[in-house]
Amino acid sequence: MKILNVEINNYRSCIQTKFSLPLNLMTLIGANGVGKSNILYGLRLFTEMDNNRTFFTDEIKDGILDELINTQINLVVDFEDKIVFIRCKFYYETDERNIDKVLHSEVKYRIEGENSRKYHEISGTIYQIIDVLDGGRLTFDQLPKSIRTNRIKYQTRLIKSLTNLSYYSATQFSDPSKCPISIELDDYRISSRNVKGNKIHQQFVYDLYKAYKSSNSNFELFLNTVGLNGLGLVEDINFSDHTIPSSSYKVKTGGKIQQIENKKSIIIPSVKVDGLTLSPNQLSEGTFKTLALVFYILNDKNELLLIEEPEVCIHHGLLSSILQLIIQQSRYKQIIISTHSDYVLDMLSPENILLVHKEFDFGTKVTSISKTLSANEYRVLKDYLESEGNLGEYWKEGGFDYE
């Protein structure tokens, strides 16, 4: 799936925010508070669709949904070589950490070229089918014949693609002291209690471990990139596996106590830096954040990556390498980044830039450079970039007055 056009309605500062994504790599720039992050957060609502487990009956749905925040996001996508128009309505709550929890979503779509312009509604059953298929309990061919239709199969693929995106922020990997020195495994799966809430550090260590153990991952490429032959951040990264005895007790009928003997598997990560073997929580914030960002850029298999301010806590020399990785990976997937850094713009072309500003009555607005400037002004900009300077300097000198 490739997203071609986005329209976000009634989401924070995005009252009616429309923009196109002509290339696989697009960058949002603009002053503080204009809504760059809100655009990324709005798109991030799609990651909650497959977690949508709240199904309301028609009798109580309207009353409950009226109490929730709702946002409408319309997309035009290129999916399986056809243009598809998608309308998604999200009902959600926002917690004290400013994180949205989607409780209900409604999705409609139509395919360009079909005889009817009617939108098909996707029922909540699709999410249950995806849950069964992803859990490996059944294959699609093993489902009941009544739901084993081409339309259901198409809708399943469509929803899975819509949720197939990842978001990485400037602050997600801050404070390495939150990183665990070991992780308990349950049959080589992370214990559920370790990933509840916003425990992104634990998830990163586990994802790194999975890549370390897998022969199909980019772990060696990652290690070469951050190691002595690449960025020089670390010398090596290793994991040791340990099995330790554990016991628990169960009270049976009659007051008898049964001792249950079992074993726990734990992994202990270590990072070698300057000849010293360290735990991940001993790394500097810049090193830890760079390791995490490079790892996910190289290993994330999702079709769309949202990256907020990759420049935070990263030295210019390292930032240049990270941007080169982002540009390289954009050949294979769609990437949207937001930035305040003129250094980021130095490595991009005008076609990669979307200017974000905010109007009092109309909220966040997004415009491409080519539409902001007149034909003559755009030609002058191209000449300037070819002969005198770069986009970062042009931005610093107030070249994008429209923003």
**Lowest-confidence region among 123-137, 149-163, 269-283:** 123-137
Look at residue 62 in the predicted model and tell me its pLDDT.
62
**Beta bridge mates, 6:** 19, 75
At position 372, the amino acid (one-letter code) is: T
pLDDT digit string, tens, across residues 355-388: 999 998 899 999 998 888 778 878 888 888 777 7
Q: How many of the other CB atoms lie within 10 Å of CB of 189? A: 10
pLDDT digit string, tens, across residues 228-243: 999 999 999 999 998 8
Look at residue 125 in the predicted model and tell me its pLDDT.
86
Query: Using only C-alpha atoms, what is the Rg of the chain?
Result: 24
Look at residue 61 in the predicted model and tell me its pLDDT.
63
Q: What is the pTM of this model?
A: 0.89
- Residue 155, pLDDT > 50, answer yes
> Are 114 and 127 in contact, with CB atoms under 8 Å apart?
no
CA nearest neighbour of 42 among 70, 4, 77, 78: 70
Residue 372: which region, alpha, beta or left (left: phi > 0; alpha: psi -120 to 50)? alpha
Mean of pLDDT over the chain: 87
In sequence order, the 6+-apart residues with CB closer than 8 A to the CB of 127 are 49, 50, 52, 53, 159
Cα separation, 357 vs 367, whole angstroms: 8
Look at residue 394 in the predicted model and tell me its pLDDT.
75
pLDDT digit string, tens, across residues 48-77: 886 545 555 555 566 677 788 999 999 999
**Lowest-confidence region among 79-83, 225-229, 250-254:** 250-254
**Collapsed DSSP state (helix, strand, coil) of residue 318:** helix
**Beta bridge mates, 158:** none
In sequence order, the 6+-apart residues with CB closer than 8 A to the CB of 181 are 268, 269, 279, 280, 281
Q: What is the DSSP letter of 310?
A: T
> Are 330 and 301 in contact, with CB atoms under 8 Å apart?
no
Look at residue 401 in the predicted model and tell me its pLDDT.
62
Look at residue 185 in the predicted model and tell me its pLDDT.
79
Task: Kindly indicate the confidence band of residue 186, based on its pLDDT and cuts at 50, 70 and 90.
Answer: low
